[in-house]
Amino acid sequence: MLHYSSKILIAFGETFSEEDGAFQKWLLQNDYAELAALSSAIRGSYEARDWLLKNKFPELAALDGAIDEQPEAFLWLRKFGFDFLIVFAEAISGKKQAVQWLEKNNLEIFIRLAAQIKRYRDNQTYDYHKLRF
């Protein structure tokens, strides 16, 4: 995720607060389908997670799993050297050490993204009867 420009990352972050899907559509129309899919996956779409896997973005699918605190996702990210994505997932979970690492490395955009995603997830109510296991 470090290779995306700030403009693209800001658009990605806005997908967690929009209601009309404009930023999601913008990402899709401007060749950032992987970020649109990641946003959808984080927001609960199994289809989006599967799309990430099928379209050669397994690290983003694993990031989604890590955000959900799935141990196997963390193991996969570590095994394949995606240490930054581990820190980012931990920052989204509110772990102070991860946020401090982002601050120390002047990655304010990711602090902002982590806060946006955390705020979105903290304000969701889930119908546990509809979850697939």
**For residue range 4-39, what is the model confidence (pLDDT) as tens digits?**
999 999 999 999 998 889 999 999 999 999 999 999
Instruction: Give pLDDT, residue 47.
Output: 96
pLDDT for 52 beyond 60: yes
- Alpha carbons 59 and 77: distance in angstroms, whole number: 7
Every domain of the chain and the residues it spans: 6-122
- Alpha carbons 77 and 131: distance in angstroms, whole number: 25
CA distances (Å), origin 99, targets 50, 107, 127: 29, 9, 30
Element (H, E) at 2: none
Instruction: Give pLDDT, residue 128.
Output: 45
**How much is the pTM?**
0.90
- Alpha carbons 44 and 62: distance in angstroms, whole number: 14
Instruction: Give pLDDT, residue 126.
Output: 56
- Alpha carbons 62 and 13: distance in angstroms, whole number: 18
Two tokens at 35? 């970020």
Q: Using one digit for the tens of pLDDT, what is the confidence trace for 73-132?
A: 999 999 999 999 999 999 999 999 999 999 999 999 999 999 999 999 888 765 444 444
